[in-house]
Chain A
Amino acid sequence: MSEIYFDNGATTRPFPEVRAIMAQVLDEDYGNPSSMHKKGFQAERYVTGAREIIARSLKVSPKEIFFTSGGTEANNLALLGSALAGRRQRKHIITSCIEHASVYNPLSFLEDEGFEVTYLPVNEKGLISLEDLQAALREDTLLVSVMCVNNEIGAVEPVEEIGRLVKAFDPAILFHTDCIQAYGKMDCRPKAWKADLLSVSGHKIHGPKGIGFLYIKEGTRIKPVLWGGNQEKGMRSGTENVPGIVGMGKAAQIIYQDHEEKVASIRKVKDHFISRVMKEVDQVRDNSGQAPHVASISFPGVRSEVLLHALEDKDIFVSAGSACSSNKPAVSGTLKGIGLTKDYYESTLRFSFSVYNTVEEADLCVEALKELLPVLRRFRRR
């Protein structure tokens, strides 16, 4: 394949083993885990197996893993479910100003429903300050939700310190962390982090789309938001997405095999790419955080959308740092949050890497940038 796919923060190419086991489940072992016969039991075994793999990867109990339709649903369940369960006692929620829309929007909804939400600012590296958090905590704080790895710049929030601080203030306050960009790129340890809730998506780790899970610490006060046949112990009704669950389990298994090597190989591509760009391309700004797979770079003087399409023309696929177009400006909270001015946030691209990427691909991308930027910068909107 001659294409260079540097948009692994958006989604990843599934591992061949994921495809194979999903095909098996679709073609032959297609039973409904709720069925009483052998076909149902077989399907249930697949689900149990996947749950165990995932639980092991987090060092938690399989009983604490609840499958959902993806990261968005996991975040919604975590926030809305805990708000439903705790709304009579507590009315205050703390989050950061750089959360994903699937955290931000449910929280806006909860604000409309009478909750008070504190949005913590971030510094120029995209990190919240523990002092701010300490100051924001209140007697009636129900929940603290801070993402582990930011999706736009790869900032890694101090989740362990956050957990410690929150629980020291009041052990009854729930701590949720969105690990959708973190899982598979680092060890996620809800017990060590004192997290009660932790969200993950399947397709960011070379699994299929349409599947994710929420870790819910045993004993956490949370209510379901979907009601029906009481699958997932009533926390998430609906026939299990067996192929999705099995595919995600397989992906988790593979990604956490020789994990350090895998992360090192991703980081190597990222570091190589960033260092070459910074050295060889004029007028750029590196916004990248510590996550191994995300490079966020601003190219003032060219709109991100234009550079993106010019790279696309060379079969290099990346993301715009902030989704925006002339007709509908929707500027990213993260890029503004870290203090970028218009010329920078409108020219930011995200390059996100996976185990499939190589240093050679990074080189090709750098060469493409060096070729395109001088031309594109000649024609700026005046």
Chain B
Amino acid sequence: MEYKVFLIKYAEIGVKGKNRHLFEDALVRQMNYALEPVGDFRMRKESGRIFAEAESDFDFDEAVEALKTVFGISGICPIMVGEKTDLKDLRRLAAEYVGQEYEKKDFSFKAFVRRADKRFPGTSAELAAEIGEAVLMEYPDLTVDVHNPQVKLTVEIRDHIYIYSREIPGPGGMPVGTNGRAMLLLSGGIDSPVAGYMIAKRGVSIDAVYFHAPPYTSERAKQKVVDLASQVAHYSGPINLHIINFTDIQLAIYEKCPHDELTIIMRRYMMKLAEHFAVEQNCLGLITGESIGQVASQTMQSLFVTDHATGMPVYRPCIGLDKNEIIAISEKIGTYETSVLPYEDCCTIFVAKHPVTKPRLNVIERSEKKLKDCIDDLMREAIETVEVVKIHAHQ
């Protein structure tokens, strides 16, 4: 007897009425994507639940880890599958399952039976009693508690006998692809991959922009962002990463605008470029990793000024988190180690010693007028020379 099947439970999507099949389809699609490198699995939808049945050999832990990246899953139940023969075998299987699954046999339980194959003799209630008795005979320290059992031992009789009781928590959230698409401003830092992850968790598909500034940033810095995008893609599915050459815009700002406003003006042009590609990809919003007050460009005043650069909603899921809380998420999703690799990114190359922390929109807009002779051409150039890379979780 071995695990061949997972029962996938989902929470929020169960309540979505007529749209439910859309949510289920998205969930199945994401499960297929996550399980692709693990083995061949067949997905079966059935009355509010999904079964993932292995059709090839696979590693159990690897499969569970993969399923834990699929938003929308609330619980993963590994199911033992046994040959369906007769009552005697059913009793034996149930006892065997308890023997293997639990080290200490001193808990209370209740047996549930679903008799999908109605040809199997006995009613569900009768079979539940049989199973309870069989397990108790084998492990006399167990107790039956029909009201508050510690373990719910579920047996389903289908083409085979399915037994499960354990539920591994899933990541929650909603299946990616059920809530539109947004454009993530991905830097090489800790925050932006976390922001992408958090928005993807609500079912949003993700695309990304990265601002590359050669020769101030290196090929390694670019590869780092590709790697981060790939790690986010484990949760969000494939990402179209737009690599934008930002050097000339940055140098123009550097030459023409007040130096202490450099970062905030740069952020505004980043927003405008991100918005351009967001519209192109049918995105409904921008995502950034900003958190109030973390750096000069993330004060309330700065965020206000940055927001005015775009007409799109800007989603900032890290906005209320402290750095250590963001780090904790990045460690959980596996992006932290990549994020802290020491390659220069374009935000750090020309940073002023004392950047403005309370920029005013009219002042910044006036400074930007100094770019009017060149900025349209430079923006066009940046848009035309974009490099788009499709990033997958499993490269």
Which A residues contact B (CB, under 8 angstroms)? 305-310, 312-313, 325-328, 376, 378-379, 381-382
Contact between B215 and A379, CB atoms less than 8 A apart: no
Residues of A within 8 A of B215 (CB): 306-310, 312-313, 376
B341 shortest CB reach to chain A, Å: 8
Residues of B within 8 A of A378 (CB): 255
- Cβ of B259 under 8 Å from chain A: yes
Contact between B216 and A328, CB atoms less than 8 A apart: no
A165 shortest CB reach to chain B, Å: 41
Contact between B214 and A328, CB atoms less than 8 A apart: no
A349 shortest CB reach to chain B, Å: 13
Task: Name the CB-closest residue of B to A329.
Answer: B342
Partner of B351, one of A313, A328, A379, A381: A381
Contact between A309 and B352, CB atoms less than 8 A apart: no
Residues of B within 8 A of A326 (CB): 344, 348-349
Contact between B342 and A305, CB atoms less than 8 A apart: no
Contact between A325 and B342, CB atoms less than 8 A apart: yes
Interchain Cβ contacts under 8 Å between A and B, 28 examples: A305-B218, A305-B344, A306-B215, A306-B349, A308-B215, A309-B214, A309-B215, A309-B216, A309-B217, A310-B215, A312-B215, A313-B214, A313-B215, A325-B342, A326-B344, A326-B348, A326-B349, A327-B342, A376-B215, A378-B255, A379-B251, A379-B254, A379-B350, A381-B350, A381-B351, A382-B350, A382-B352, A382-B353
The main secondary structure of chain B at its interface with chain A is loop
Q: How far is the CA of A379 from the CA of B349 in the complex (A)?
A: 10
Contact between A306 and B216, CB atoms less than 8 A apart: yes
Residues of A within 8 A of B344 (CB): 305, 325-327
Residues of B within 8 A of A327 (CB): 342-344, 348
Q: 7 closest pairs, A vs B, by CB?
A: A309-B215, A327-B342, A310-B215, A328-B342, A325-B342, A306-B215, A309-B218
Residues of A within 8 A of B343 (CB): 325, 327
Question: What string of 1s and 0s marks CB contacts (under 8 Å) between B322-358 and chain A?
Answer: 0000000000000000000011100011111100000
Residues of A within 8 A of B254 (CB): 379
Q: Which of B215, B218, B254, B353 has the most CB atoms of chain A within a 10 A radius of its CB? A: B215
Q: How far is the CA of A12 from the CA of B110 in the complex (A)?
A: 71
Q: How far is the CA of A170 from the CA of B306 in the complex (A)?
A: 72
Known: A308-B215, A381-B351. 6 other contacts (CB 8 A): A305-B218, A306-B349, A307-B215, A313-B214, A382-B350, A382-B352
Residues of A within 8 A of B217 (CB): 309
A155 shortest CB reach to chain B, Å: 28
B395 shortest CB reach to chain A, Å: 24
Q: How far is the CA of A310 from the CA of B215 in the complex (A)?
A: 5
Q: How far is the CA of A376 from the CA of B251 in the complex (A)?
A: 10
